[in-house]
Amino acid sequence: MKTMITNVRVLTMNGENKVYEDGCVLVDGSRIARVGSRQEAESWNPGPDVRILDGGGGILLPGLVNTHCHVSMMPFRTLGDDCADRLRRFLFPLENDAMTRTLVYRAAKYGICEMLLAGITTFVDMYYFEDEVAKACEELGIRGFLGETVIGQPTCDSPEPYGGLEYGERFINEWKGNRLVTPVVAPHATYSLSPEMLKRSFELAEKYDVPYTIHVCEMEHEMEKFRTEYGKTPVEVMADLGILDRRTLAAHCVYMEEKAMELFARHGVSVAHCIGSNTKGGRGVAPIPAMEKLGIAAGFGTDGASSGNTLDLFTLFKLFANFQKTEHHDRTLFPACDIVKMGTMGGARAIGMERELGSIEEGKKADLVIVETDSVNMFPCYNPYSALVYSANASNVDTVMVDGEVLVRGKRLLRDSLEGIREELEMEMGPFMKAAENYGEMI
């Protein structure tokens, strides 16, 4: 099946950031076959069976990549947003009380809808019952890099600490080689596993040659623990353990000293930058300019709906621009084009998929997004990058294609109904909401 996308401003995000003001993209099956101007497209001869997809004069960009999420935490949204030490006092216990296999599945479906409708075509996830998240990805058609959490305490899907290691191995065996789902090993954080188990989870990632993602340098108590127990930073301890590698995707990285950044650069570690959840938690602004200078790949991460609240990158684009510019007192830092680049190619590099995803180039996967420019907030639009970063929000996303299949058109999901998915989630949330009441003083 061939699809010709016409009447769009194409932001290719290739090496030169080539833009076609009146461009066309030909998709053949799951891949991009041709990219060019309307004039160039006249000589493409795609054949009689080509489907024409009119972009309505909107902006066509590569699918957005969300490099850090806990998609099934949807039921937690707006619970305890302003509560101190929330993770340990509230999130972990409530998760163990009330998170179930079915709730993970239904929440994942709902969260994936939110991401697709916001132009996210690939996401990295860390949670429990991760096979349910994988099922949801297949049903809705999004690309997922999914990791079962490994942590040194009992969880909702494993009564024994570190049960996630075995669960994770089963999950990898079950899903490796899937068209949309890539299994990942996901040790929770530097502070919530023993050094030995950090290493063992890394060995699991090596054994199956899959990515390894973990929360790093996110918490003050984490930095303090490593200072007092080892006299080192978490990243130095990770280096000692031999778990810094091209496959390592470190989420957050707020508290990064020079040496830690050098270690990341030397070992090819990439970063999931979660500006929304980090600043909402009052933690700080990760030193992305310094990391970029060292060549460290970085993409955006929404984090879960309990930490970042919305699962879209448009919110993060603005937060990122405003916080980084303010932090460094420099309006010229990160022009809008660089921010869109980080949301597309940056994310693709962070997950080692830069040859397949992240830009609109011939031969790459057809993961594409059209943002309309007809809405009240989108006019005028002199600079399309500025419009995406500073004017747009998720509701301007009109059309989304993943792997050559149109999943969103006219701002509506095509494969399933959002209303139905929401209803199913709501029905499943009863016991969870009841359990949340036990934490009344925190919510």
Q: What residue ranges bind Zn ion (CB under 5 A)?
A: 303
Q: Which is nearer to Zn ion, 303 or 312 (CB)?
A: 303
Residue nearest to Zn ion as judged by C-beta position: 303
**Nearer of residues 181 and 251 to Zn ion, judged by Cβ:** 251
| Shortest spacing between CB 32 and Zn ion, in angstroms | 32
Instruction: Name which of 24 and 253 has its Cβ closer to Zn ion.
Output: 253
Cβ 314 to Zn ion, closest distance in Å?
20
Q: What is the 3-state secondary structure (H, E, C) of the chain?
A: CEEEEEEEEEECCCCCCCEEEEEEEEEECCEEEEEEEHHHHCCCCCCCCCEEEEEEEEEEEECEEEEEECHHHHHHCCCCCCCCCHHHHHHHHHHHHHCCHHHHHHHHHHHHHHHHHCCEEEEEEEECCHHHHHHHHHHHCCEEEEEEEECCCCECCECCCCHHHHHHHHHHHHHCCCCCEEEEEEECECCCCCHHHHHHHHHHHHHHCCCEEEEECCCHHHHHHHHHHHCCCHHHHHHHHCCCCCCEEEEECCCCCHHHHHHHHHHCCEEEECHHHHHHCCCCCCCHHHHHHCCCCEEECCCCCCCCCCCCHHHHHHHHHHHHHHHCCCCCCCCHHHHHHHHHHHHHHHCCCCCCCCCCCCCCECCEEEECCCCHHHCCCCCHHHHHHHHCCHHHEEEEEECCEEEEECCEECCCCHHHHHHHHHHHCHHHHHHHHHHCCCC
Residue 306 or 396: which CB sits closer to Zn ion? 306
Between 26 and 186, name the residue whose CB sits nearer to Zn ion: 186
- Minimum CB separation from Zn ion for residue 254, in Å? 12
For Zn ion, give the closer residue by CB, 131 or 218.
218
> At closest approach, how far in Å is the CB of 249 from Zn ion?
12
Beta carbon of residue 330, minimum distance to Zn ion (angstroms, whole number) = 28
Task: Report in angstroms how near the CB of residue 149 gets to Zn ion at its nearest.
Answer: 10
